[in-house]
Structures are given as structure tokens and as C-alpha cells.
Structure 1
Amino acid sequence: MHRFLFFIFLLAIVISCSQKEKKNVSETIKYPNQDAPLALLMRNMFIDMEEMKVSVEEGKSIKQYLEKHKAILTAKPTDANVKSETFQSMGMAYLASLKELENSNKEELLDNYQLLVNSCLACHNNFCPGPVKRINLLKID
């Protein structure tokens, strides 16, 4: 009887540990660069872009995000080689597009928003293509 209970206890521990391991693996796959400041910033930028999309769809001016998003030029990436001149140029182009969007009148909102989304796609097609599918969700048809 004791052996049976011991076996059940041991089995429960093995199952519990394997479930925790599966959770950690899926989290790593969802966010493979989870600790890099640039990756964290990009996730927050995506959330901001979702807010912008709603504002644009409703024809409302967007909040100011430029100061927060300027960190794109200085945040530490997972791979230091990413911070090339091309990355810096694309980051500056993104920030210029964001500034243009923030200063848009109602008639320019949609076009300037689409330019901003396209600047995200252009950069991610060059440096980190993983989020492209998700960025495409930001488009307004």
C-alpha cells in the first residue's frame, strides 16, 4: 500500500514538473527576446499602436507617444549588431512618421497612420521578421 501511495506521489510530481516546463517553453516561443530592453519597448509600442489605430478609426487625434518611442534609438537589443546605421535611419524615419501623425489634422490621420505602420513593417522585414504578421494586424483597410 505504501509503495502504491509513493508511486502516486512520485507520478504527481513528474506531471507537475512537466506542466511547468511546457509553460516556460511556450512563453519563450511567444517572446523569444523577452529580456532585451528593445524587445520590451517594441511590445509596448505595439500596444500604443493599437491605441492609435482605434483613435484613427474614430477620427480622433492621437495621444503623444513620441517621447516614449524615442527610446527605440537607445534601447539595448538582444543582438548588438542590430544597432547599425540602417537601424538608426529606420528608427529616425519611424519617429518622423510618428511626429507627423501626432500633428495630423483629421483628413491626414489615416494616411499618416498607414505610413507609420509601413515604417514598422519596413524595419521588421530587414531586422526582425517575427512580428510582421502581428504588425499587419495594425493596418486599416
Structure 2
Amino acid sequence: MHKPFLFLALLILFSCGNEESKGKVEEGIKYPNQDAPLALLMREMFLDMEEIRVSVEEGKTIRTYIEEHKKLLTAKPTDAGVKTETFQTMGISYLAGLKQLEQSSEEALLENYKSLVNSCLACHNNFCPGPVKRINLLKLD
């Protein structure tokens, strides 16, 4: 009588352990570059862009993000081959677009925001296409 109970308890214990490790594998797939400083920064930049989107939708002044986002030019990527001259040029262009957006008049806010999102998409289409679907969520019509 004790053996079936012990077997059932062990079965439940091992199934829970497997679910936990399965979640860790899925998280690894969700963020395959989780340890690279550039990948971490890009996730923060996405959250900032969500905040910017809300400000644009509400016609509010955008706080400055330039100093934090400048780190994209120096942050270590997962693959060192990503840091090409083209990457640097696109990064500088993004930062110029961000500065322009932050200094936009209310009339130019939406167009400058759209331009900034498009610069994110252009770079990610060249270097790291994984986040493109997520970046598309930032678009405003």
C-alpha cells in the first residue's frame, strides 16, 4: 500500500521538475542572446520606445533617452561580427532620429516617431531579424 503512494509522489515530483526545466528552455529560446550587453540594452530600448509611443499618441513631450541609447554604439554584442561600419552608421542615424524626435514640435511628432521606428526595422532587417515582429508592434498609423 505504501509503494503506490511513494510511486505517485515521485511521479508528481519529477513532472514538476520537468515543467520547471522546460520553462527555462523556453525562456532561453525567447531570449537566445540574454547575456550580451547589446541584447540587454536593446530590450531596454524597446521598453523606452513603448513609453515614447504613448507620449506620441497623447501628444506629450518626450523625455530624453539619448544618453542611455548611445550605449548601443559601444555595448558588446553576442556576435562581434555585428559591429560593422554599417552597424555604426545605422546606430548613429538612429540616435540622430531619436534626438530629432525628442526635439520635435507637436506637428512633427508623429512623422518623426514613424521614422525612428523605421530606422529600428531597417537595422534589424540587416543584423538581427528576430525582434522585427516585436518592433512592428511599435508602429502607429
Same fold (TM over 0.5): yes
2:75 alignment counterpart: 75
2:60 alignment counterpart: 60
Q: CA RMSD in A?
A: 0.9
Query: How much has 1:55 moved relative to structure 2?
Result: 0.7
Could you list the structure 1 runs, at least 4 aligned residues long, displaced by more than 2 angstroms after superposition: none
Residue 12 (1) aligns with residue 46 (2): no
Query: How much has 1:111 moved relative to structure 2?
Result: 0.8
* Length-normalised TM-score, structure 1: 0.96
User: What CA distance in whole angstroms lies between the structure 1 residues aligned with 2:51 and 2:8?
Assistant: 50
User: What CA distance in whole angstroms lies between the structure 2 residues aligned with 1:138 and 1:7?
Assistant: 51
- Name the aligned partner's letter for residue 59 of structure 1: G
Structure 2: unaligned runs, 5 residues or longer: none
Q: How does 1:1-141 map to 2 (within 5 A)?
A: 1-141=1-141
User: What CA distance in whole angstroms lies between the structure 2 residues aligned with 1:13 and 1:79?
Assistant: 39
- Name the aligned partner's letter for residue 20 of structure 1: E
User: What CA distance in whole angstroms lies between the structure 2 residues aligned with 1:24 and 1:12?
Assistant: 19
Structure 1: unaligned runs, 5 residues or longer: none
Question: Percent of counterpart pairs with the same letter?
Answer: 67
- Name the aligned partner's letter for residue 130 of structure 2: G
